[in-house]
Structure 1
């Protein structure tokens, strides 16, 4: 396919919101996920609603075999947009995380992002156009207990994207990293986290479509690090201005409420 937006982790939440956004803009889609029934239902809905072609690749990107399947599946496609969104969180304290989960989260949120980005970037450079969007998190600014590996890999994504932006500054390829806070999706339930989605005020849950709208607005004006929502901006400011011990106490207190 030509004029393609590739979005990983498009089963629900932010990935599905990005799929809808780019389908609305007339892009054909390649969407990935592990839940075949959900991904295929999303594909049918997107095709019928936006009159675009949608290819689904059912794959687990948390291991090398799954990544190889995806790379093989996109070999003949001209990808104009890449959204690295696939990810998951872990609830246990770091000392309790099993090695299999350590390997999976680090592979998915670092190796897959890097290798897939490089693969797609090479074809973008030939055409001197394209867009790469990597999904990080407010956790990149505020690591929490029981979220150590997730936040650390999201900080990697933030640094990786900013470095990539500087390398590509003289090209026509746009690069952005999006650092959302709490997203109204099934992410936190899947990670076993205790959350109240109807909470209002600070650290409330945001609608995925709203996050994508704000991030796309930032992309349009060339903002490399997108902080969609006031809560994320406040967290970043707190980390910069507060004494470290005070910041730690605030984060620990917040994390204990989420047990």
Structure 2
């Protein structure tokens, strides 16, 4: 019987890239997502290409009922790899964010990650073998305007993963937090953000397959925190060593620029 990898948010982007990575390594897959036609087609492609079994569960993990549905689906299953990837961004300032969106993000990026990890971890400990990969973000290192809630949940994921590592040393279960920068996926469009994905350089967009390849290279080296982008490494450095007053000033300047740009864009559409 083949080992099984459970990957949330596997319709596209990093989730799909992790699905391809573990399918190529011979793992059967359990994939979650919301766009049935797309994720089902991806599953069929992976099955044919890698001769593995790929199951699809259409579920809304930003809702407690959806989390319960997934937990019930995997309760009696041996999960050898868990990739907590499902996530979304929010465009408004925190004060303008609807309560419904706040709850969805907290459920998805804190409660879901925590409960899924807790569910699969017991079996992994019994087998003395397992991999848990939690997708954080460069935003975990330095929160910016329009990014307050998202960055805070990603910081939780980072701390949660590092804490787990300290508890799991010597158990055969290995964890990793991946903190990428800009990814060429549907993430920004889904959040209502319009980004220039042709931008190159330090903060340019990278392909999901390349990020996963770099992150898994770090995993094999035993790196608990993978920062696969030069820009993300710079943000971590600034978040750690930049004087806080200077950081706040930089954030305020950035915020003012965003507001001005938003106002100009709105005026141009009148």
User: What does residue 54 of structure 1 align with?
Assistant: 54
Q: Secondary structure at the match of 1:236?
A: helix
Shift of 1:241: 2.1
Change (3 A) 1:18 1:242: same
Offset of 1:249 from its aligned partner? 3.5
How far did 1:229 drift?
Answer: 1.3
Conserved in 2, the CA contact under 8 Å of 1:158 and 1:177? yes
Does the 8 A contact of 1:142 with 1:251 survive in 2?
Answer: no
Q: Give the TM-score, by structure 2 length.
A: 0.93
Q: Is contact 1:5-1:22 (8 Å) kept?
A: yes
The reply on whether 1:190 has 2:162 as its aligned counterpart is no
| 1:92 matched residue in structure 2 | 92
Question: Where does 1:115-126 land on structure 2 (aligned, <5 Å)?
Answer: 115-126=115-126
Deviation by residue 1:162-197 (Cα, 9 ceiling, x = unmatched): 000000012110110000001100000101112110
* 2:68 is the counterpart of 1:68: yes
Alpha-carbon distance in 1 for matches of 2:202, 2:191: 21
RMSD of aligned C-alpha atoms?
1.4
Using the alignment, how far apart are the partners of 2:169 and 2:136 within structure 1?
Answer: 21
Structure 2 residue matching 1:160: 3-state secondary structure: helix
TM-score by length of 1: 0.96
Cα distance between partner residues in 2 of 1:138 and 1:186: 18
Query: How do 1:1-259 residues align onto structure 2 when only pairs under 5 Å count?
Result: 2-254=2-254, 256=257
Structure 2 gaps of 5+ residues are: 263-270
Give the match's secondary structure for 1:79. coil
Change beyond 3 A, Cα 1:200–1:253: farther
> Which deviations, in whole Å up to 9, do the C-alpha atoms of 1:188-228 show, x marking residues without a partner?
01011121100011211111001001100110011000000
Deviates further, 65-74 or 9-18: 65-74
Comparing 129-138 and 232-241, the one that deviates more: 232-241
Larger Rg: 1 or 2? 2
- Farther-moved stretch of structure 1 (249-258 vs 30-39): 249-258
The 2-side partners of 1:67 and 1:241 are apart by 38
**Residue 242 of structure 1, CA deviation:** 1.7
Deviation at 1:243, TM superposition (A): 1.6
Q: Distance in 2 between matches of 1:116 and 1:2?
A: 21
